[in-house]
């Protein structure tokens, strides 16, 4: 069985590649990326979601395709459809897709492309495994240095509880699903074991840095404006602020512990992720 992973040079893709290799060193793996010169320790094939005519040849001989959702918000659903069509044409047996927590029940703007992709997968005739990923803790720790420097975390999630997990935890879930055909036809709602509010997150940051770093909750529009001021494109800032706003009402909450059961160990506590980011 040959497994291919799209976005293999991306943050999640690299971790998924390593997770598959760690669990099954003998596994046949192909890395799919826009940079075919990348040194990833496995065969690498050029793969660009926006170049539909090139995709099917790159999938020749692939049994299981891990479709990591595009980070290009210019017609993501269209890009995903092109990959799914190419997989059918190439004779791929199963697609594992990284969707969003709660899938078609999610009210977030960010969910729209995932909902469209899940719907298209249902009509594809392919075997499918849906990994509905919750929030990555790195969504917060990635900007932690700046937050500490400015003396506060900001957002619009209010007192909403967010079941975030480390990106590496979700990468392990990809590996587990890719290495066992028994996961075909399954949908998994994946999230961290211990939901937290952003006030909880800020309290842990404060504990580790030794001074008060509060969480300042802002109206959605104000938060979006600040993100735009930081240099984010207006559309992306709107999506992030919308995600926070819906998180305040439970859109990113989950306490099923499906992720930890799937990977066979507890998810990474936020304290561990915060410590790594501050190091």
179-194, pLDDT tens digit by residue? 999 999 999 999 999 9
Residue 51 lies in a domain: yes
Phi, psi for 127 (deg, rounded to 5)? -70, 140
pLDDT of 83 higher than 80: yes
Could you give the number of structural domains in the chain? Answer: 1
What is the CATH classification number for the domain harbouring 64?
3.40.50.720
Percent helix, strand, coil in the chain (nearest 5)? 45, 15, 40
pLDDT band at 94 (very low <50, low <70, confident <90, very high): very high
pLDDT digits (tens, 9 = 90+) for 103-128: 999 999 999 999 999 999 999 999 99
Alpha helix locations (H) across 179-265?
198-209, 220-229, 234-247, 258-263
Residue 105 lies in a domain: yes
Radius of gyration of the chain (CA): 19
Residue 15 lies in a domain: yes
Q: How far apart are the first and last CA of the chain?
A: 40
Residue 159 lies in a domain: no
Cα separation of 109 and 24, whole Å? 37
Mean predicted lDDT score pLDDT of the chain: 97
Quick check: helix, strand or coil at residue 244? helix
Count the neighbouring beta carbons within 10 Å of the beta carbon of residue 43: 13
Residue 93 lies in a domain: yes
Residue 209 lies in a domain: no
What's the whole-number mean pLDDT along residues 36-48? Answer: 94
What's the confidence (pLDDT) of residue 34? 93
What's the confidence (pLDDT) of residue 266? 98
**Is the full-model pTM beyond 0.95?**
yes
pLDDT band at 74 (very low <50, low <70, confident <90, very high): confident
pLDDT of 40 higher than 80: yes
DSSP state of 70: P
What's the confidence (pLDDT) of residue 72? 86
What's the confidence (pLDDT) of residue 73? 84
Residue 86 lies in a domain: yes
Residue 48 lies in a domain: yes
Q: Which two tokens stand for residue 271?
A: 């304290």
**Enclosing domain of residue 54:** 2-133+166-189
């Amino acid at each position: 069985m040959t497994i291919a992973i799209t976005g293999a040079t991306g943050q999640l893709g690299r971790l998924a590649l390593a997770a598959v290799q760690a669990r099954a060193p003998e596994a046949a793996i192909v890395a799919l990326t826009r940079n075919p010169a990348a040194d990833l320790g496995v065969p690498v094939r050029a793969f660009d979601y926006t170049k539909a005519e090139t995709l099917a040849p790159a999938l020749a001989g692939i049994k299981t395709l891990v479709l990591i959702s595009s980070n290009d918000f210019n017609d993501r659903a269209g890009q995903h459809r092109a990959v799914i069509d190419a997989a059918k044409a190439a004779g791929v047996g199963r697609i594992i897709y990284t969707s969003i927590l709660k899938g078609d029940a999610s009210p977030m703007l960010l969910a729209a492309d995932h909902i469209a992709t899940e719907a298209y997968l249902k009509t594809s005739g392919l075997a499918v495994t849906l990994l509905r990923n919750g929030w990555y803790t790195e969504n917060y720790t990635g900007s932690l240095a700046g937050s500490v420097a400015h003396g506060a975390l900001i957002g619009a999630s209010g007192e909403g509880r967010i079941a975030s997990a480390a990106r590496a935890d979700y990468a392990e879930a990809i590996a587990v699903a890719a290495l066992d055909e028994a996961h075909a036809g399954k949908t998994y709602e994946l999230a961290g074991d211990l939901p937290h509010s952003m006030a909880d997150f800020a309290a842990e940051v404060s504990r580790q840095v030794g001074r008060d770093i509060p969480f300042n909750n802002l109206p959605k529009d104000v938060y979006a404006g600040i993100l735009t001021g930081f240099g984010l494109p207006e559309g992306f800032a709107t999506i992030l602020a919308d995600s926070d706003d819906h998180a305040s009402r439970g859109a990113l909450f989950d306490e099923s512990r499906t992720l930890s059961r799937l990977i066979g160990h507890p998810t990474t506590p936020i304290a561990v992720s915060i410590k790594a980011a501050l190091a």
